[in-house]
Amino acid sequence: MKKLLTLSALLIASFSFAQTAQDSTSLNPQLQQNAAQRILSGNFGKAVTIGAYGEVTYNQPEGDNGELDVQRLVLLLGYKFNEKTQFVSEIELEHVEEVFVEQAFVNYAVSDNVSLRGGLMLVPMGIVNEFHEPTTFNGTERPAVDNSIIPTTWREIGVGVNGRFPDASLGYQAYIFNGFRSTTSDGDGGADGFLKGSNGLRGGRQKAIRSTVDSPTFAAKLDYYGLPGLRLGLSGYFGKTQADDDVEMLDGANIDISMVGFDARYAYRKFSARGQFIYAALGDTEAYNNLTGRDLGSALQGYYIEGGYNILPLSAKQRLVAFARYESYDTHADTDGDLVQNDAYNRTDITTGLSYHIAPGVVLKGDYQFRDNEVEGGDVDDRLNFGIGVWF
């Protein structure tokens, strides 16, 4: 309780000294754009667009030293060749030392409501995987469901189509991608695995780093925006993992993946809410675990619900959002063969805090997380978090 009072006092104190304009990110989920959509929606009338977003975070687990980190700094570069053809890229520096290309794709507008895309793109699953700029979500850290189940930031190389059916108030995306990498040779006739029980598929993201591909995967999403302030999403991802050439014929080298997700966002005046549910069924995990010695579950499941309220008047040029989020996620929702479900992988987080939008594209964040799992007498450290996020 003392930590929560300290958190509130610090953020409210910072509020009293700030005099800035409204955050440019719309509260209305039907009007929200991510970085790529901003570039594609007009390029501010110029051929070349340059922007960035970034986060500096402080995490203080109970009883341990705190950690300060420039978690990410992402440079946004876009180019408009003509009225139909554009290029979008995101170059990310993580923890000041790692460099990744997060997106790099060409978008070709066939018509007002149909576009073709090809290159390195985000897989359309859930909310945060596509909307992960720090001013677009509450909490210093992204939801754990998006970290352990989806897993954010999930991007692969592919081609596909996206657009809208305006009369039905539907947006759509459909892509063919390369898939998760599952196994590589261990040098002794067996295989090492990239996938494991604690975080499911996360270790298999190829991130366009000399990606191997054996069989393509399919991803699609529908967004409904027909009711004021409401946005609903239905996602699907289906296919097999990818194994290196020298092990792909081994039993268990690949697994099947069927993932579905449902998400909802709503805003009305000073109130906002969001939630999502993700379920992934994995096939052939018993053979995979026997081959690699891993403990991958045969089902992953997670959900969260969140509510937020802007404490400041609607006429104010700033927003101070108090929020609370409950999330439950289990990377051993089911297991195959002799593998026993690990209760440590069945986790619950409650996050409560403040998001203070002090200027267009600038947010100060503070929250406290009550964390637990299903292990009897399990000891999971609660955590205090602070962050600064920018996006321009």
182-206 pLDDT, tens digit each: 999 999 989 999 999 999 999 999 9
Give the per-residue pLDDT at 273. Answer: 97
- pLDDT, position 33: 87
- Per-residue b or e along 144-157, where b marks 16 or more CB atoms closer than 10 Å to that residue's CB: bbbbbbbbbbbbbb
Is the pLDDT confidence value at 71 over 60?
yes
pLDDT at residue 42, rounded to an integer: 66
Split into its structural domains, the chain has a count of 1
Percent share of the chain, pLDDT over 70:
92
Give the residue-averaged pLDDT of 299-328: 97
pLDDT value of residue 14:
37
Instruction: Return phi, psi of residue 203, to 5°.
Output: -70, -10
Angle at 130 between CA 125 and CA 311, to 5 degrees: 110
- Report the amino acid identity of residue 217: T
pLDDT beyond 90 at 376: no
- What local confidence, expressed as pLDDT, does residue 26 receive? 63
At residue 47, the pLDDT reads 87
Q: Token pair 């108030």 is at which residue?
A: 169
Q: What is the pLDDT of residue 309?
A: 97
* Ranges 154-158, 349-353, 358-362: which has the least confidence: 358-362
Residue among 80, 71, 21, 24 nearest 47 (CA): 80
Q: In CATH, what number is assigned to the domain containing residue 82? A: 2.40.160.10
CA–CA separation, 229 vs 364, rounded Å?
A: 25
Cis peptide before 153 (omega within 30 of 0): yes
Q: Residue 18: its pLDDT value, please?
A: 34
pLDDT at 55 over 70: yes
pLDDT classification of 19: cutoffs 50, 70, 90: very low
Residues 83-105 have a mean pLDDT of: 96
Residue 6: the pLDDT is 44
Whether 27 has a pLDDT exceeding 80, the answer reads: no
Predicted local confidence at residue 359, as pLDDT: 92
In this prediction, residue 9 has a pLDDT band, given cuts at 50, 70 and 90, of very low
Predicted local distance difference test score (pLDDT) of residue 17: 34
Q: What is the pLDDT of residue 10?
A: 40
Instruction: Look up tokens 């700033």; give the residue.
Output: 318
Q: Determine the average pLDDT of the residues in 309-335.
A: 97
- Model confidence at 231: pLDDT above 50: yes
- So what's the pLDDT on residue 377? 79
Average pLDDT over every residue of 234-252: 96
Cis omega (within 30 of 0) on the bond before 143? no
User: What's the chain's average pLDDT?
Assistant: 91
Q: Do residues 154 and 214 lie in contact, with contact meaning Cβ atoms separated by under 8 Å?
A: no
pLDDT, average across residues 129-138: 96
Q: Is the pLDDT of residue 382 over 50?
A: yes
Q: So what's the pLDDT on residue 38?
A: 86
Q: Which domain holds residue 273?
A: 2-391
